[in-house]
Structure 1
Amino acid sequence: MKFHVLTFGCQMNAADSGWLGRSMAQLGWQEVPADEAQVFIVNTCSVRDKPEQKVYSLLGRLAAHLERDPAIFCAVGGCVAQQVGAGLWDRFPFVRLVFGTDGISQAPQALVRLAEEPQLRLSLLDFTQSYVERDPALPATAVSPRAFVNIMQGCDNFCTYCIVPHVRGRQKSRSSASVLAECRALAASGVKDITLLGQNVNSFGLDAGGDGMSFPQLLRAVAAMEGVSRLRFTTSHPKDLADDVIAAFGELPNLSPSLHLPVQSGSDAVLKRMGRKYTLAQYLSKVEALYGARPELSLSTDFIVGFPGETEADFRASLELIRTARFETSFSFLYSDRPGVASAKMEPKVPDDIKSWRLAELQALQNDQQQAMLNELAGSMAQVLVEGPGARRDSEEPAWKGRDEAGRVVNFAAAPSAHDLTGRIVPVRIIQAKKHSLWGEQSS
């Protein structure tokens, strides 16, 4: 069978989609472009209303493929599948498999069965009590120098706006032995850059599935592995960012000088209504400690704009936080009610036009600050992990694309004698800051 995977949402979804693709290939299926596919696998996100609506729009477009071949069918997984469940069958009859975030481990075998039984439909929507381990289906030789490793599933925080605990379930940590074995296998296959993934990685091991290894211990164990040149993790809840993890930024040379630390708002009043369980002062004290441990740290964050009851003063506090915390990047979104969460009942709602104006102002400030910070890197040296061919400038000279130590995208001109640089770490002198990326030249 020929299949095509489409992915919405977070890095955990991207990692799950990669696993699905590898697993189906091991079962003899072939991953192909969309116009050749007999089976579509759609991995979905419902953290906000907009990505959920994109899923429905995509499924509507996929219906046209039935005109090419009535035997074509679709599997829908991830958060929208968990949220809507078998209701997807009523709206989209060609959807024959819905699988939730805990059901993904059974999805490959379910797809094989569906291909053999054309009249069958299946749902895999039950939550499990513990993390279900699965064969990582890793190739002997890495196809990319970067890889993502899920270390947990679900979340216990229940922030008032967040649907994640409802669609991904309660927190379930993987066994540390399984995580470490996967990381060793990746390093042995040629992966140099590993990102540990979870809804709240800092609470790894603190649930019933924990086996005694804490996140700081796990971080140091992976960092000590031969072949792991770079290590990063996401996402962190500020209330759980431990002093041991902060200290690791100053002690582990291969721990990337970058951190995503979602704040959501710069107002204590809004943070309290969000159920974030920290104050602005507490957040800033951790930011100060992080910069103290690693002065060159590249810090990113998330903002929700227009949370119920957000005043103009609350919003201005978020703008001021961008400057104070020196965020290099931020991901900002308009608040939207999600089904079943506490904030859906909160009043007053911020009008849509005001939310849009505020979001535009916040993003403009962040873009200006990011550009200024990237401009400061001109003339500096970077160690770039090359991912493949990059965007050329005004010549036919070979160009390559990779990421520096902090994960910034760097396109650079290669030395005239350079051959394939993919997977290598090469010195690059930064010449110019572009929009959201850097341009440089390979240094001898």
Structure 2
Amino acid sequence: MKRIIILIGWILLASGVSAQSWSLDDCMKYAVWHATDVKRETINARQRKQDYHHAVAAFLPTVACGVQGQYAWGRNIDPETNTYNNVTTFNNYYQLYAELNVFDGFATINAFKQARLSRDYSATAMQKTQDNIAIDVMQKYVDAAYAEASIRIASEKLNESKRMLAKTKRQYELGEKGRPDVVQMESQVAEDEYNLTHQENVAKQSLLALKSAMNYPVHDEMKLDISYNDNEKEQESSRLTIGDKPNTESIYINFQNLSPDLKSAEYEVERAWYDYKIAKGRLLPSLSLSGGITTNYYKNLSLKGQYDGFASQFRNNRGEYLALTLSIPIYNSDRWHSMKKARNNWQLAQVNLEETRRKLHDQIAQAIMDAEGYAKELQQMQKKVASDSLAYHMSSRKFEEGMLSTFDLHTSAQTLLESRIKELQMQMLLVIKQRLVGYYQGERLIK
């Protein structure tokens, strides 16, 4: 019974999820949680943390032990008489040793600083990935919403054409219209049916692109929330914000400390700088300290003599050593090549940083300019739609009264359709640009 209840609950939950309308924020949140890029960046962050622990461990000495067993037979030299003999011997060696890096041109210290920098960069890298996904999904969502809203406009246009066709046929039967008028209206209906079919295909493709960007199951149903009331509220808030005339320079200055792209470019400069310092350090002398304990067990299998036991030899043959090794690199082409390559990469990262700053400034200026322009265009298009709608209404009345040709009615209808499509396009573009302006002003893309 418990399993049945749980199963029913899951079915109800699944049906509720599939029936919900997906808003822009819902799509962006889903994409951030399910995108493969976010999962990949999570693994990269874990790897950076592991690299940091490895860099810390590099300050500790390395400790190792070794055991060796050796059988030897055949001719060899007797160390006591310095003569050849034929014997079989068994040697057993034991060693425990440690080595500590005393100085290596500060390569270990710089590697530790670089690993710490990479670990701290993980949060910025994750934010950059999430922002890029959110912006991509926002663009795909607006395209899909625009295509779906265009279906509604095309459907309304088709219904109006069918209504006019039915009325024209009735007038033809009454002798008030000619056959060419009926044929022209039938052509208009066919054209509107084609536009509706084409728009439905575009909407399917746009929705598929949105699902792909979200990593959403392709075959699952998704219904977009394109409430026009919400869009109107968005437009009103957009006009208020745009009316404040945001200053590009002040937004750019404030956003420099928040921009994940800029932080990423700065991180690349610092990381390349540490690579350069590490490569230079490998050209300097290195000093290492090592020490260990050794012992061995020996037995001549060819002579049946008395030998000390294993425990006795293991204790008596024990020896300790301590060594200080200085290595001075005189010439190593690989190290010199690595140093010059690291220096070039550091200089290249600086150039990329300057380019990122310039692009960021241009993107902010472009977003503000586009938002202001689209807001003004939308206001003008709303007036034009109202005028074209009135003009089409008057043209249809004149056509019904026989005072206007079918061609002129078709022209008026197409003008109204193009105006409504253009108005919808301005609405969608304004939503994107206003979101971007808010993002540059410090607002989160995902609310």
Q: TM > 0.5 between the two?
A: no
TM-score bracket for the superposition, by shorter chain length: under 0.3
Q: Which has the larger radius of gyration?
A: 2
Between the two structures, name the one with larger relative contact order (CA 8 Å, sep ≥ 6): 2
More helix by share: 2
Query: Could you tell me the TM-score, scaled by structure 1's length?
Result: 0.17
Query: Could you tell me the TM-score, scaled by structure 2's length?
Result: 0.17
